[in-house]
Structure 1
């Protein structure tokens, strides 16, 4: 029996448009980038803990450029890539074999939660590593944006629309790493909590950090009444200071390619 193609949950076109918009928004001095910075800091901490000093690295999806800059400062030869054809970086289709390989380190930041074939994407990362190479993939987990999800549902009322895409949880991520045959696989998660005074600011932060929905099925535009219902739902769920707590879960997968090939 021939292999079946994975279901088309996400739109590649919308995915790239989200990346282009986030890249443009990040040029604004007041753009939210706490998730982007946290991911970079986490990767640097992991490299220090593991005492891994790569000579070559492929960095995918770093909208800030900070990780590449730091690794270059340390003497690492860095190739920067992104699912979208952003200026100055390699346009990379993560669901196809990579055009470049042999890296001591591959880091994917905030992109793998919107690929249709996540097991295949993890295998392509594995194949692009050199012997003793390390892979780290960080993206939004299933615990993210629970407040916004509920507010959008209340805004839609009796006819809810799919305005936010599904996300991977820790258990599923561990199973995926086993299927992709990463050696010494580790999956962990941590969360950042932010309090917001307005729904508009929350949505702006989501867009600026590339977290908008990339679903292939486009939800209808929310009506003016629906938007007012959503804003009321936001106000009703606010605390005594008029703020709503939102959670951003960061899921991180890591693993190695041992010398001589992958464990069977």
Structure 2
């Protein structure tokens, strides 16, 4: 992996997940709400899945898959301690160097777990290879717009206290990135859409406490490692709630769906193979380009 692709401190991510694994239940309601929206996509298929990989599910996804009749679930996480809380067969695994053989699973679910990966296209290729033909991949990632108010409050407070600002909230992908990432990784029938969770905290401090409890604090390599000014966080939090009221927070989610290629899957028709004209289906008159009678 080139230095240009190194965005996150993966060792720091693992250490933080190890640290918070025992208390991850504090943020389970948020993880469960996101997982429910992601797994709703299983209702759109009649396929029955038997061997699933729960990637970074943090004790939420594996029980949901078991409740849906999945016979065997492997719960993998970068953090060994977090993997042990996953609810399935625990495996400590780096998403950038997956230890699974090709055709190992017929379902892979990554719920809010791939956004700390440096080489996301490479990780998706490995996940596709770990799927059996016609296996299903489901993933949710925080998308652009997530924690935007916190990002702006921290930036404004830091700019006021000292020259310049440093990244304190992770960069997130845009919706338009989703389908292209799946196609690049070789998934068939790729779909990328957007969902959101609207959260509300009684205090700004409660938001920071949840981020710490989930192991989701800043791990960007470009972060400022100096001790922040003492007034930084109090000033930023005051901007989040100027009147001391509740703090609304939006979790924008990029939802990805893709299938491992298989001969039995539907394929787009060959251009020119249609036996019905579009004009006939629409009940209109077909005009050639340059036809003077063509309406303008």
* Structure-2 residue corresponding to 1:93: 94
d(CA) in 1 for partners of 2:34, 2:99: 23
Measured after TM superposition, the shift of residue 91 of structure 1 is 1.1
Question: Matched residue pairs, number?
Answer: 254
Q: Which residue of 2 aligns with 1:72?
A: 66
Shift of 1:143: 1.5
Look up the match of 2:33: 38
Determine the structure 1 residue equivalent to 2:22.
24
Specify which structure has the bigger relative contact order, considering alpha-carbon pairs within 8 angstroms and separated by 6 or more residues.
Answer: 1
Q: Which position in structure 2 is the counterpart of 1:128?
A: 130
Cα contact 2:32–2:61 (8 A) shared by 1? no
The whole-number CA distance in structure 2 between the counterparts of 1:55 and 1:231 is: 46
Match of 2:223 in 1: 218
Are the structure 2 counterparts of residues 226 and 176 from structure 1 closer, same or farther at C-alpha, using a change threshold of 3 Å? same
Task: Compare 142-151 and 209-218 and name the one that shifted more.
Answer: 209-218
Structure-2 separation of matches of 1:146 and 1:9: 19
In structure 2, what is the Cα distance between the partners aligned to 1:202 and 1:52? 39
Offset at 1:252? 1.2
Render the CA deviation track for 1:84-136: whole Å, top value 9, x for unaligned. Answer: 11253211111124334421101112221111101001100100000110001
TM-score, normalized by length of structure 1? 0.87
CA contact (8 A) 1:18 1:214 kept: no
Task: Give per-residue Cα distances to partners, 1:179-221, cap 9 Å, x unaligned.
Answer: 1121000111111122223221011122223332221233233
* Matched residue SS, 1:90: strand
Contact 2:55 2:75 in 1 (8 A): yes
1:194 aligns with 2:195: no
Aligned-residue Cα RMSD (Å) equals 2.3
Which sections of structure 2, spanning at least 5 residues, go unmatched?
A: 85-89, 268-296
- Alpha carbons of 1:54 and 1:196: their partners in 2 closer, same or farther (altered >3 Å)? same
Kindly indicate whether the alpha-carbon contact (under 8 Å) linking 1:36 and 1:209 is maintained by their aligned counterparts in 2. no
C-alpha distance in 2 between matches for 1:235 and 1:61: 32
1:224 offset after TM fit, Å?
1.3
Query: Quick check: which has more Rg, 1 or 2?
Result: 2
CA–CA separation in structure 1 for the residues paired with 2:264 and 2:132:
9
Q: Which residue of structure 1 aligns with residue 241 of structure 2? A: 235
Q: Hey, what's the Cα distance between the residues in 1 that align with 2:70 and 2:250?
A: 36
Residue 161 of structure 1 deviates from its aligned partner by 1.6
Comparing 103-112 with 45-54, greater Cα deviation is found at 45-54
Say whether the 8 Å CA contact 2:56–2:76 is kept in structure 1: yes
- 3-state SS of the aligned residue for 1:252? strand
- Correspondence 1:247-262 to 2 at 5 A: 247-260=250-263
Match of 1:209 in 2: 214
Q: Distance in 1 between matches of 2:19 and 2:146?
A: 21
Q: Which runs of 5+ in 1 are unaligned?
A: none
Q: Specify the SS of the correspondent of 1:15.
A: helix
